[in-house]
Structure 1
Amino acid sequence: MKELIHKKVVVFLIGVLVGLSSLRTEPASGLKPYKIKSDLSNVSNLKEFADAIRYYGRDFSLTEEQRKKLVENGFVVIPSEAQQFFHIYESPHFGITPRIPNFITTDCVLHIYHLLYDFSLRAVEVEKLLPALRDLTIAMFEKSLELYERAKSSRLREACRRNVIFFGVAASLLKFEDLPLPKECASSVENELRNIREHKGRKKSSIFPFGHDYSQYKVRGHYTRSEELSRFFLAMTWYGQNAFPFTLKSESTDGNITAIQAMIMSWLLFNSEANKRRLVDLWDEIYSITSLYVGSSDDLNPHDLYELIVEVYGENVDIDSFIDDDKLKAFLRKARNLRKPRIVTELVGLPEGVQFRFMGKRYILDSYVLQRLSKWPHRPFPRGLDVMAVLGSRRAEEILDRVFLEPDKWKDYPSIRQKLKEEFSRLDEREWYKTLFSGWLYVIKALLKEWDDRYPSFMRNVAWTDKELNTSLASWVELRHDVVLYGKPSGAEGGDGGQKIPQPKGYVEPVPEFYRRLLKLVKLNAKILRRYNCLTERLDALFKRYEDLVTFLKIASEKELKGEILSYDEFERIRYIGNALEELSTSLIEIGLNLPSLDWKNGNLVYGNPVHLRGWFEVMGPDRDMACIVDVHTSEDECLEEAVGHANTIYVVVPIGDKLYLTRGAVFSYYEFKYPVSHRLTDEAWQEMIERWRAPDPPPWTASFLAH
């Protein structure tokens, strides 16, 4: 029984990874270095490029700073107000044929994977997990109430009373009304609900002997998009935030009530049913697929506790025996030898050591890094760059040490960071792909290198290394945004073109190993959804279209690195990348718009009339804007916000055959700043800040490639 759910996951993943194994892609040397003349006179398509821009009623002109960076680095990034990548890449609207040569960036490709991951997760949460959570919660409330009403011992009765409150709060968050709450429980439930609604920060809890960070109940991420997602967020946060620590009675302030509560919860899960299903099966249904998307909890779960209960108390245990002092002490001693959480939120007054959570927040690699590399009062806030440094970016280390002078703030910082680097470097590919979350980190890890002479000249400088660092950080932001609930804290269609014009020569960012890893990740994602019967025909088709796109980019980039000129059809595909990005984005948002609502009274899912978007012009709400934000770390009254803004424009001079061509593409903008925990930012609030020109400046190190 031990780690049963984890074993099922591991067995499944082994089968998946065997089927996905493929050779790593290393580039062959076939490119000659090149230099760009200061007047751009050796850029062969400069006139055609300017004419193409002029076709849209604008002049192509660069400031002195922009031209200097383009000449020196082979590329330059210019701020933009584009709300989507495809707003920079041309789409063939109204019969207009794209004529500006495109540079397809890893940024825009990663953004589409973010949409696939995010919208497939939304569908799983609404259609599968929310109904299971609802059934599980009301059953646990009713069973806890039954035990409370028949409990005789004062300690047992108090543990049951607190469990009634605990599940009463969760049931209320899931819109169960008129709960039969005993008078001695009702005020505590209302007090907790009030604190959750206000989400103002740390306050004393009604049912735990320690404080609680109610600011975490600010609904954010994609959970603001519907009532179903919002209530799912609140209930799951309640289950994940509350810890039940294990201490010996002599050390306990409440007679080990929290430990007895956890024992009762675990016992109920394995010995109760709802609608002819064991409650533990409902728990597993919620936990298993989310553990593959995000990761497992590093706190003790009901499987861990129930095995220990059987070991100490026997198979046919009665909960009355849970308060037997000798057996309880034996149980607590054994429990304290079980795994301790690797991510510990070091805030005054919060429990430490071994603890149980009903549905714990998940252990994720980056939170582990951020926690280890923060220390009050020397370095209370880590940086996103810490994650990139541990993933292998020497440039991130250089910026941390020389720009931000982090080693001067905390003498142990360099040695701890080095140990983390060594720890992560020992992970093999199979370990990275244990979850989609860590697999995503492994994909962006492929960008965190210094590019040698096998790559084109525009990639072989510090500015490009910084650009890739910016890409990786922004993609990490989108990843954390998608899993904000689970991560443990610290008009017209595209046409076939109009008049015929000369084919513009585009380019793919040539990183074959990145595309190989990404292709493996997206196939794993589809297999996980298929395994849990969550891969609809529509979603399957979108995954296949994306796989096909990534496969093309891998093949094209391999050809580019060999110095081969792409075929006419391959150049055409690059030419129409804006259309591909727009169609994928619109189709995924359409999936979100067609998710069912929940009849909160009887628990049935209700599907409305199908929504069919005729084009991007019909997309409304926060998903229309790519800007998103997530808080990843808390210290005292502030949190660390990591954000993606609007897409910026990148101009790149690329080698095609024996000529140089100017191309245009789109890249991420990235932000990092502190903000009050009482006002943790939502996507909507962040988008408004950008709209009102209140966004902070980008990090100073981005000046190497960003020019105004």
Structure 2
Amino acid sequence: MKIYKIIFFLASVSIITNCKKKTAPPKEKEQKKVEVIDQSSMDQPPSELVSVDYGAKGYLKKYYEIPHIQEFYEWQDMKYQIWEPKKFPEDLSVLSYDELRLLRNEIYARNGHLFDDAFLRGHFNRSKWYMPIFDVDDFEVILSEEEQELISKIKEEEEKRKELKTITDKNRLELYNADLIVNKKQFKEIPQKVQNDFSNQNFSILEANRSMPFYTYDENAYEYIPHYITTDLYLFILHKYFSTSLEKLDENFMYVQLKTILEEASYKLSALAKSEDNKNLKSSLEWAQMYTATAQYAMGEKKYVVPDDYALEFDSEKEAINLIQGKPSFIPNILVNYKELKPRGHYTKSDTLKKYFKGFKWISLNGINIKNKKELKGLITMAYAIKSDQNLYEKYQQYVSIIEKLAGQEDNLSMSNLIQALGDTNLEETLSDTNVNKIITYLDGFDKERVKRVFGKEFRNEEKEIKRLFFLSSTYSITGEIFSRLVHVDDLNSKRPFPNGLDLPAVFNNKTAEEILFNEYKYGDKWSEFNERLSSLQEQFYKFEDWDNNYGYKGVQTALQATSEDDRYPDYMKTNAYNRKELSTALASWAHIKHDLILYQEKPFAAESGQGGGPEPPQHYSYVEPNLRFWDTALELVKWLENISKFDSTFASELKEIKDLGEKLRLVAYQQVEGKTVSSEIYDELHHVGGTIEYILFGLLETDHLSEREKSMALIADVYSYKRSNLNVAVGHADDIYVIVPINGEYYISRGSIFSYHEFIGEIFDDDQWKSKVKKGNIPDRPKWIQPIINDNIKGLEGQLEFRVGG
């Protein structure tokens, strides 16, 4: 039996041999000394043990007398000494793969090697005997024959284990062999359920309730847990950029522009009313003045012109607007409820934004019946006032064009169509019965509405047949049309009164979404037309190519790419469980889009009746979620945002930082899939990716700290209404995802952050109300299709490494 001069200590990590440049040891007395744990008394595995007499190596002792090394270890209350004999199993087959790797690497650790690998260094730092030599250019580890022989024996055993690098699951997917994970001991404990997830699907999601996604990466950076940089993290900062940019645009331009348009229209109408030529047009002019005054009031304006004949009606509208409830009295419409005037999204952040929301929403709710000549003549008068003033008309056109670039084209008849119908005649001729009839015929010929109103068969009100025209129309959205066509309402016999967020990816042929809708929700069984309607929509959108038209489209395309499939992707991304994770990511991203565009897009509805000294820090690894199509599309979205930023370049530097980060993440994703080596420089740059995201966010918020409101990422949007209830889609606090990833030929547990997606039916909430519910944990359950892969009763994995000799 051979006696090997080595000490056994259970753990796992690969060896990286390069040392880094010299730095001065810490001298500040107030620095806290790190308690070093000696775990050498850990129970040995049941096997015949080999006695070991490690002894002292003379060549090492002289290095501990070098001034900077001696000073550093004295500061740590550590000194070189001869350790007592230890034991390790003679039969190496009783050790796990990670234990084998640590046994091999401990030979180098005992010989003063400074590991660049963060796990290896952090693990050995927990033992008081580990005193690596640093900042000595000519230092080399010298191994004895016995040590070299043992290393060869261990490597031979490791290679046997690695013959089974992947495990084939029942779906013929090649998953990483979880038995080969090298950094399990990076964590104090890995619950059995999480270990089972690693074996069965290579990842596990834990409900972490992190109020910001970058907090996970900050913790990873501190504990040197490998990053799993998710599409969710990048989507978070992309959405924050757009939301903040839109907030600026709305507050500094769109609000001012709409306010100016209404003011100038009011002045123009007053001038027209005073003209002797228009005395017989009083009724239409006063109606237009009433409309303008009510819109101005909804925007919080104090100066407006209300005709005497409309005083009582104006008071009635004012009361409903102030209470944010009730129905309109000025332009009757049984389908309009002033609860929709409740500011939400980012429009609750300032008084100006609140006023802008209420003003625009009032206008987009109150469309006139084109067959009601009083209402039509009134709006024709407004159209005439705008068109006859070139400066005012240009402001109106500019305002509408920006909305269309942001949120899509108007989905209803609007002032734009009405202006097109006007000739070059004076106001009296324009309002003649003959001309008005021509205009009605012209407008009635349009079939502009794509987000169709859904009515139950018992809906008897005339509103079902009314075609309405709006001063400013809400815009078309892809999901608006999808939702309006995938619902069935018939009072108690309704087959599908509410849509499902999964309808969106299903229409774009996501097979997992389809399977859930049919096999778990059973919509095909409950409603015989569901399959036919879904197939029709799939055919319609199969070759959709207008993605660059507006942010609403481009954002949806990017969100959907989070669910993309590609043969190049690792097989864990092809599991049903990971497909569900990707669906959650995509729908959470879509929820952000609906949240940001909540004012402009039409909502479909249905009606029924560190330390500063010692060695350089170790290498911290990152693995980018290798969704190549997503990263390609995300950078296309960034380019699109660069073009739209010409309207307001306030956050140009932040957008450049987002672009630079995206390009870096895309590069790494491709390198991973192609089997190329990621440089240490890139790893160093990604080490503090959480801090990078946080820094960009501070720039967008124009602050150096997060306000109480901004400390939570939670947000909510109502996307469909039926019977005074709303389908809400929301994002809560972030979950943690742990994923087995290949790095430098070994398998590591990495950690990342993902969105938590919620979808439920209820009242309208604003962000503050939702954030409060999230903070208290008083929120509805997640959709049932995502629940099976969320471990909501397991605490996050806690790191246990020590970094006393590194940053």
What TM-score, normalized by structure 2, do the two folds share? 0.72
Q: Find the counterpart in structure 1 of residue 527 from structure 2.
A: 410
Q: Find the counterpart in structure 2 of residue 225 from structure 1.
A: 349
Find 1:635's aligned residue among 708, 722, 741: 722
Q: Find the counterpart in structure 1 of residue 300 from structure 2.
A: 175
Contact 1:456 1:655 (8 Å CA) reproduced: no
Q: Find the counterpart in structure 1 of residue 749 from structure 2.
A: 662
**What's the secondary structure of 1:175's corresponding residue?**
coil
Contact 2:368 2:469 (8 Å CA) reproduced: yes
Instruction: Compute the displacement of 1:160 (Å).
Output: 2.7
Instruction: Compute the displacement of 1:445 (Å).
Output: 2.1
Instruction: Compute the displacement of 1:681 (Å).
Output: 0.1
Contact 2:202 2:740 (8 Å CA) reproduced: yes
Task: Compare 495-504 and 190-199 and name the one that shifted more.
Answer: 495-504
1:86-124 per-residue CA deviation (whole Å, 9 max, x = no partner) reads: 1111169xxx85511110000010010001111111111
Contact 1:169 1:193 (8 Å CA) reproduced: yes
Distance 1:236 1:151, change over 3 A: farther
Q: Find the counterpart in structure 2 of residue 651 from structure 1.
A: 738
The whole-number CA distance in structure 1 between the counterparts of 2:714 and 2:613 is: 30
**What's the secondary structure of 1:700's corresponding residue?**
coil
Instruction: Compute the displacement of 1:147 (Å).
Output: 4.2
Q: Find the counterpart in structure 2 of residue 308 from structure 1.
A: 421
Distance 1:396 1:521, change over 3 A: same
Contact 1:239 1:358 (8 Å CA) reproduced: yes
Instruction: Compute the displacement of 1:682 (Å).
Output: 0.6
Contact 2:736 2:751 (8 Å CA) reproduced: yes
Contact 2:290 2:307 (8 Å CA) reproduced: no
Between the two structures, name the one with larger relative contact order (CA 8 Å, sep ≥ 6): 1
Instruction: Compute the displacement of 1:261 (Å).
Output: 2.2
> Aligned partner of 2:707: which letter?
M
Distance 1:351 1:75, change over 3 A: same
The whole-number CA distance in structure 2 between the counterparts of 1:455 and 1:32 is: 17
Matched, 1:703 2:703: no
Instruction: Compute the displacement of 1:40 (Å).
Output: 4.8
Q: Find the counterpart in structure 2 of residue 99 from structure 1.
A: 224
Distance 1:199 1:583, change over 3 A: same
Instruction: Compute the displacement of 1:351 (Å).
Output: 5.9
Contact 1:510 1:557 (8 Å CA) reproduced: yes
Find 1:461's aligned residue among 561, 572, 575: 575
The 5 A counterparts of 1:214-613 are 214-247=338-371, 254=372, 256-272=373-389, 278-310=391-423, 315=424, 317-346=425-454, 349=461, 350=463, 352=465, 354-377=467-490, 378-428=495-545, 431-452=546-567, 454-490=568-604, 500-530=616-646, 532=647, 534-536=648-650, 539-590=651-702, 613=703
Q: Unaligned 5+ residue runs, structure 1?
A: 1-30, 51-58, 248-253, 591-612
Larger Rg: 2
Find 1:622's aligned residue among 684, 709, 732: 709
Q: Find the counterpart in structure 2 of residue 13 from structure 1.
A: none
**What's the secondary structure of 1:90's corresponding residue?**
helix
The 5 A counterparts of 1:104-123 are 104-123=229-248
**What's the secondary structure of 1:384's corresponding residue?**
coil
Instruction: Compute the displacement of 1:459 (Å).
Output: 1.1
Name the % identity. 26
Task: Compare 434-443 and 463-472 and name the one that shifted more.
Answer: 434-443
**What's the secondary structure of 1:681's corresponding residue?**
coil
Q: Find the counterpart in structure 1 of residue 211 from structure 2.
A: 83
Contact 2:715 2:770 (8 Å CA) reproduced: yes
Q: Unaligned 5+ residue runs, structure 2?
A: 1-163, 169-173, 605-609, 793-807
Contact 1:644 1:669 (8 Å CA) reproduced: yes
Q: Find the counterpart in structure 2 of residue 46 from structure 1.
A: 184
Distance 1:575 1:155, change over 3 A: farther
Contact 1:450 1:465 (8 Å CA) reproduced: no
The whole-number CA distance in structure 2 between the counterparts of 1:37 and 1:472 is: 24
Contact 1:104 1:574 (8 Å CA) reproduced: no
Instruction: Compute the displacement of 1:153 (Å).
Output: 9.1
Contact 1:641 1:675 (8 Å CA) reproduced: yes
The CA RMSD over aligned residues, in Å, is 2.6
The whole-number CA distance in structure 1 between the counterparts of 2:787 and 2:194 is: 11
The whole-number CA distance in structure 2 between the counterparts of 1:351 and 1:322 is: 29
The whole-number CA distance in structure 2 between the counterparts of 1:219 and 1:174 is: 12
1:118-140 per-residue CA deviation (whole Å, 9 max, x = no partner) reads: 11111111122222111111122
The whole-number CA distance in structure 2 between the counterparts of 1:353 and 1:529 is: 39
The whole-number CA distance in structure 2 between the counterparts of 1:194 and 1:45 is: 65
The 5 A counterparts of 1:105-184 are 105-148=230-273, 156-184=281-309
Contact 2:166 2:175 (8 Å CA) reproduced: no
What TM-score, normalized by structure 1, do the two folds share? 0.81
Matched, 1:197 2:322: yes
Contact 1:640 1:675 (8 Å CA) reproduced: yes
> Aligned partner of 2:212: which letter?
Q
Q: Find the counterpart in structure 1 of residue 765 from structure 2.
A: 681
The whole-number CA distance in structure 1 between the counterparts of 2:208 and 2:540 is: 39
Q: Find the counterpart in structure 2 of residue 600 from structure 1.
A: none
The whole-number CA distance in structure 1 between the counterparts of 2:175 and 2:596 is: 44
The number of aligned residues is: 610
Distance 1:151 1:190, change over 3 A: farther
Instruction: Compute the displacement of 1:204 (Å).
Output: 4.6
**What's the secondary structure of 2:325's corresponding residue?**
coil
